[in-house]
Each structure stands twice: as C-alpha cells, then as structure tokens.
C-alpha cells in the first residue's frame, strides 16, 4: 500500500530530512516528471539580483601562511571586466600537516557576470597529499546493500580525516554506474563522466572507456552524467542539454546549489560549489578555478555539502562548512547517510 511504503521511507535508516524523504518517495513512485517540472519552474524563476554584495565567502586562512608554498595553480581568474574584491580568487590554507605542509586550500570568487552577488567556493587538495574514498549510503547506490565499513566515515579513518563532500545524482538519474573493488553495485557506462580512485588514493576525472579505463590500480569509480570540462575547455551544449545529458531538460537553467569536481593541469583535485548557479555558470566557475577535466556532482541545497574536518582527541572530529550558507549539517557524513559520498584522509 502507498501509505505503508511512504511511512517506511520516512523511517528508513540514514540521515535525510522529512522533505527530502518525501520528495524522493514521490520520485520513486512515478512522480519524478512532476517533481522535475516543479523544481525547474521554481528555481528558473529565482533569478538572483544583478548587483550587490557577495552571497557568501570562505573564511580567511586559519593557519599562518608566511613561508608556505602556494598551490601550483595561479589565483582564480577574475570575471572579465570586473575588478576583484579583496581576497577574491586568492587561495588560503585551511588545513596543514604538523610539519607545516599545506593539505587543503580554499578560495571564493564571484561566479556570474550577470549576477554579481553570486559566489562560488573552491577547495583544492594538492596531489600526493590526500587519499580519496568512496562510501555508500543506506539507499544509494542501492537500497539495502551491504557495506563492510558502514554508511558514514569509518571510525578507523577519523584520526586522519581531512574533508567530506557529496557525490553525484541518485543512480537512476546519473545515467552512470557505481563500482568499488568490494562492491560492484551498478554497472559502469561508457562515455559517462567518472571519478576513478586509484590504489594510492589519488583521483582521476574523465570519460569512461575513453580517457579513463579499468586497470589493476583502480579501486573505485563513481559516474555522473556527461563531462562538463574536457582538456581545459567547457563542453559545448550545456545551455541546450540535448537528450538530458546533464539531467532533465531545462534543469540546466535552474538557479540553485550546484557542485562539481575536477583535476587541474598539475593533478590537484578541486571541488567547486555555490548557490544560484546554472549549469553554465558552474562549469565556468570550475574552469576559472583551474579545472581541466571536470564533472558535475549533485545539485540543490539538501545535497551540496563540503566540510573541512579537523580530528581532535579521543576520536572526536570538528567540522566546518566550506561555505556557511551550505544547508547540510557540517557533520553530515560522520553519521549514517542515505546518499553515497566521498571522504578524504591525509596521505
């Protein structure tokens, strides 16, 4: 019975708000097209103002920066014809090792020349300093799947925890697959945008079986839609979204929370997110942050989540959002969650 199914969805294990559980239950029971239509109408008509102060910014560096090497990428490129504000586009240290080596850099910048209050934030993980991990949730990639390490950041990894962030769309909407060496949950799809995690913990971004392929050193793959940046160029067609390559048609025009992941020319891993972004302005923001191979991750306020993690004594962890205006709890992935996610440990 629908009522029983709905109650089960409300009570299913894993963190998720009442509104998220309700919307996803409707999606799973034939209401997907209606939900998509309502969301597209709602967010497409929430155009931000043309001028004004930035919506949100990252905090200043919390560690001394004197003597630190800057990341191998330059400052974020400014918007054409727009004078940068103080600190805009500059990389600052958010996490460092005990020896003083920068482990996580952050930056903020305005993202839309037609709507100057709109900002994006970037988090840069220098190559050879991090290990990326892919974790399942209680409902994604599969409902009821077994997970030997649970559905939150494993206790054993919390002493080295550096960051947590969201993965991609629900699997049925991602047009792609989900695979780890221990769990082949959803078949991988040729051509889809993919983040591949290698045995040493590093990540590669590309198109499956085109620029990325299965190899003995691949330990996990998460796919989501089509690439948005290839070889340093924004992919053509983002504003038309033909055949729903990046979600339902016209979803590309929604002014909403969006996130993306990519690598730069030096192999650093960069996460970018912001509110009131369209697909095109997200891709432009990712490129301006230095990404040369990039993919969109999840969208909407309830899904976009990046936390800077700081382990404390006795297994404790303090969490800080990349942007204060992010909706999800900063400790979201320290408890079981319904959605799959990534976490980062220090190498």
Give the three-state DSSP class for 344.
strand
Judge contact between 87 and 76, C-beta under 8 A. Answer: no
Which tokens go with 197?
Answer: 């995690």
Give the Cα separation of 243 and 76 in Å (integer).
32
Please give the structure tokens belonging to residue 135: 């974790």
Quickly count: other Cβ atoms within 10 Å of residue 97's Cβ. Answer: 11
| Residue 181 burial by Cβ neighbours in a 10 Å radius (0-12, 13-18, 19+) | exposed
Q: How far from 169 is each of 121, 141, 209, 281, CA to CA, in Å?
A: 20, 10, 21, 19
Task: Tell me the average pLDDT across 20-31.
Answer: 66
**What pairs with residue 204 in β-bridges?**
196
Would you state the structure tokens that stand for residue 291, as one six-digit string?
């990404």
Q: Judge whether residue 12 has pLDDT over 90.
A: no
For 225-230, what is the mean pLDDT? 98
Confidence of residue 46 (pLDDT cuts 50, 70, 90): confident
CA distance 78 to 81: 8
Report the C-alpha dihedral over residues 136, 141, 142, 143, rounded to 10 degrees. Answer: 70
Predicted TM-score (pTM) of the model is 0.92
Residue 74 has pLDDT above 70, yes or no: no
H-state helical runs in 131-278: 171-174
pLDDT in the model for residue 21: 78
Structure tokens of 346?
A: 């220090």
Structure tokens at 156: 């054993």
Distance between CA atoms of residues 306 and 58, nearest Å: 12
Q: Express each pLDDT in 289-330 by its tens digit.
A: 999 999 999 999 999 999 999 999 988 999 999 999 999 999
Domain segments of the chain as ranges: 51-346
Structure tokens that stand for 267 in this block:
């192999």
Report, as an integer, the average pLDDT of 225-242.
97
Backbone angles phi, psi at 288, to 5 degrees: -65, -25
pLDDT band for 73, please (50, 70, 90 cuts): low
Cβ-in-10-Å burial (0-12, 13-18, 19+) of 279 comes to: buried
């Amino acid at each position: 019975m629908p009522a029983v199914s709905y109650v089960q969805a409300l009570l299913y294990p894993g963190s998720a708000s009442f509104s998220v559980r309700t919307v996803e239950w409707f999606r799973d029971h034939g209401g997907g097209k209606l939900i998509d239509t309502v969301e597209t109408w709602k967010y497409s008509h929430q155009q931000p103002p043309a001028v004004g102060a930035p919506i949100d910014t990252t905090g200043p560096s919390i560690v001394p920066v004197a003597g630190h090497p800057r990341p191998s990428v330059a400052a974020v490129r400014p918007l054409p014809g727009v004078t940068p504000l103080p600190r805009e586009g500059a990389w600052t240290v958010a996490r460092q090792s005990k020896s003083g080596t920068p482990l996580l850099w952050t930056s903020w910048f305005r993202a839309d020349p037609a709507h100057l209050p709109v900002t994006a934030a970037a988090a840069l993980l220098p190559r050879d300093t991090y290990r990326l991990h892919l974790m399942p949730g209680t409902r994604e990639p599969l409902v009821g799947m077994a997970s030997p390490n649970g559905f939150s950041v494993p206790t054993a990894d919390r002493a080295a925890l550096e960051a947590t962030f969201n993965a991609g769309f629900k699997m049925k909407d991602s047009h792609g697959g989900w695979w780890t060496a221990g769990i082949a949950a959803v078949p991988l799809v040729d051509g889809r945008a993919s983040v591949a995690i290698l045995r040493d913990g590093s990540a590669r971004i590309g198109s499956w079986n085109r620029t990325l392929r299965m190899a003995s050193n691949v330990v996990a793959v998460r796919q989501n839609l089509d690439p948005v940046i290839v070889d340093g160029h924004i992919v053509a067609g983002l504003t038309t979204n033909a055949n729903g390559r990046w979600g339902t048609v016209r979803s590309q025009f929604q002014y909403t929370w969006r996130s993306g992941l990519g690598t730069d020319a030096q192999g650093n891993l960069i996460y970018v997110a912001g509110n009131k972004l369209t697909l095109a302005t997200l891709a432009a923001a990712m490129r301006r942050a230095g990404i040369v191979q990039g993919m969109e991750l999840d969208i909407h306020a309830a899904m976009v989540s990046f936390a800077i993690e700081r382990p404390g004594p006795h297994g404790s962890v303090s969490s800080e959002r990349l942007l204060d205006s992010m909706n999800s709890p900063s400790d979201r992935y320290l408890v079981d969650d319904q959605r799959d996610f990534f976490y980062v440990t220090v190498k």
